[in-house]
Amino acid sequence: MGLSACAGKPLPSGGMQGAAAQLGAPAAQPRAWSEAMEQRRARLADGLSSAGVEVLRTPDNTLLLRWPADRAFAGNSATPSEAAAAVWDRVAATLAAGPAWRARVQGHSDASTADNDGAAALAAQRALLLRDALVQRGLPAAAMEVEAWGARAPLSANDTPEGRALNRRIELWLTD
């Protein structure tokens, strides 16, 4: 699948279901949290926390992997950090070992510069790079959507270096 630019509103705390409601789509019934999803969560949390990857169960039972871009990539670039290969290996191995899944790979940036288009383009490059890295490790491209959110879904205010660092991230949203 290709890259989509996400229009408008930031993703609310309710994950994909909350985003659908905020964007005017009918609210879906919450999906069940499967045993396979719990096993994925536990394996990923155990193997990725030292790399700074947050592994979260969202209120709508989506598994969210959130990795600060400053740890996933070198500087202000789409060049993977030294830790990236090990993280991608763990994610790919975990997903390949279980039942079918779907994923959304999202690239996010901060809004700290006048060049928001450049920051959004970098976020898109990073999301595509993650998808491509997972495909190179044997995962099906057809199971992954790539979205470039740019600075439209901040986790924090952009008025401090810490807040901007939180907003620069790559996210992988997984469902059964």
Render the burial of 96-133: b for 16+ CB within 10 Å, e for the rest: eeeeebebbbbbbbbbbeeeeeebbbbbbbbbbbbbeb
Residue 78 confidence (pLDDT): 93
Helix, strand, coil content of the chain in percent (nearest 5) = 40, 20, 40
Residue 120 vs residue 21, higher pLDDT: 120
pLDDT > 60? residue 25:
no
Residue 42 confidence (pLDDT): 96
What's the domain range around 77? Answer: 33-168
164 residue type, one letter:
R
Cβ(50)–Cβ(36) under 8 Å? no
Residue 11 lies in a domain: no
Residue 20 confidence (pLDDT): 44
Looking at the structure of the chain, the number of domains it has is 1
Residue 16 lies in a domain: no
Residue 67 lies in a domain: yes
Residue 2 confidence (pLDDT): 59
Residue 10 lies in a domain: no
pLDDT > 60? residue 22:
no
Cβ(146)–Cβ(105) under 8 Å? yes
Residue 5 vs residue 58, higher pLDDT: 58
pLDDT > 60? residue 135:
yes
Residue 9 lies in a domain: no
d(C-alpha 87, C-alpha 68), whole Å? 12
For 81-107, what is each residue's pLDDT tens digit? 999 999 999 999 999 998 999 999 999
Residue 21 lies in a domain: no
Residue 38 lies in a domain: yes
Residue 67 confidence (pLDDT): 96
Residue 108 lies in a domain: yes
Cα torsion for 55, 92, 76, 106, to the nearest 10°? -60
Here the CATH number for the domain that contains residue 128 is 3.30.1330.60
Q: Which residues pair with 145 in a beta bridge?
A: 104
